[in-house]
Structure 1
Amino acid sequence: MGKLDGKIIIITGGAGGIGLGMAKAMAKEGAVLAIVDVNEEAGKKSEKLLQEISPESSFVQANLLERDKLPNIIQTVVEKYGKLDVLVNNAHACKQKLIEDTTQEDLDLSFGTGFYPTFYLMQAALPYLKETKGNIINFASGAGINGDVTQAAYAAAKEAIRGITRVAANEWGQYGINVNIISPIADSEGVRAWAKAQPEYYQAVVNKIPLGRFGDVEEDIGRVAVFLASADSQYITGQTIMVDGGATKLR
Structure 2
Amino acid sequence: MGRGVARRLAGEGAAVAVSGRTPEKVEFVVREIESEGGTAFAMKCDVNVRAEMEGLVQATVDRYGPPDILVNNAQGGGGGERLLDSIDDEVFLAAYQGGPLATLYGMQACFPRMKERGGTIVNMGSSTGVMGDPGFAPYGSAKEAIRGLTKHAAREWGRYGITVNVICPAAISAEAQQFRGEAPKQWAAIIKQVPLGYLGDPENDIAPAVVALATDLHYLTGATLMLDGGRCLLR
Report the TM-score when normalising by structure 1: 0.89
Q: Determine whether 1:243 maps to 2:212.
A: no
Question: Partners in 1 of 2:61 and 2:92 — Cα distance?
Answer: 31
Question: Partners in 1 of 2:108 and 2:214 — Cα distance?
Answer: 18
The worse-fitting range, judged by mean Cα deviation, of 47-56 and 86-95 is 47-56
Q: Determine whether 1:145 maps to 2:118.
A: no
Q: Secondary structure at the match of 2:113?
A: helix
| Cα distance per residue 1:114-136 (max 9 Å; x no partner) | 11110111011111112331000
Note the residue ranges of structure 1 that are not aligned, 5 or more in a row: 1-17
**Counterpart AA for 1:233:** L
1:71 maps to 54
% same residue: 37
| Cα distance per residue 1:77-116 (max 9 Å; x no partner) | 1122111100000001332211122222212321222111
State the 1:54 CA deviation: 4.6
1:44 maps to 27
Q: Secondary structure at the match of 1:136?
A: strand
With over 3 angstroms needed to count, the CA separation of the structure-2 counterparts of 1:28 and 1:69, relative to structure 1, is closer
Q: Which runs of 4+ in 1 moved over 3 A?
A: none
Question: Partners in 2 of 1:124 and 1:40 — Cα distance?
Answer: 21
Mapping of 1:136-215 within 5 angstroms?
Answer: 136-215=121-200
The size of the alignment, in residue pairs, is 233
2:70 maps to 87
Note the residue ranges of structure 2 that are not aligned, 5 or more in a row: none
Question: Partners in 2 of 1:23 and 1:129 — Cα distance?
Answer: 20
Q: Secondary structure at the match of 2:108?
A: helix
Report the TM-score when normalising by structure 2: 0.95
1:122 maps to 107
Instruction: Give the aligned CA root-mean-square deviation in angstroms.
Output: 1.3
The worse-fitting range, judged by mean Cα deviation, of 92-101 and 174-183 is 92-101
State the 1:229 CA deviation: 1.8
Question: Partners in 1 of 2:94 and 2:182 — Cα distance?
Answer: 24
Question: Partners in 2 of 1:108 and 1:197 — Cα distance?
Answer: 31
Question: Partners in 1 of 2:178 and 2:137 — Cα distance?
Answer: 22
State the 1:174 CA deviation: 0.5
2:96 maps to 111
Q: Is the 8 A contact 1:62 1:73 kept in 2?
A: yes
Q: Is the 8 A contact 2:13 2:38 kept in 1?
A: no
Question: Partners in 1 of 2:37 and 2:161 — Cα distance?
Answer: 27
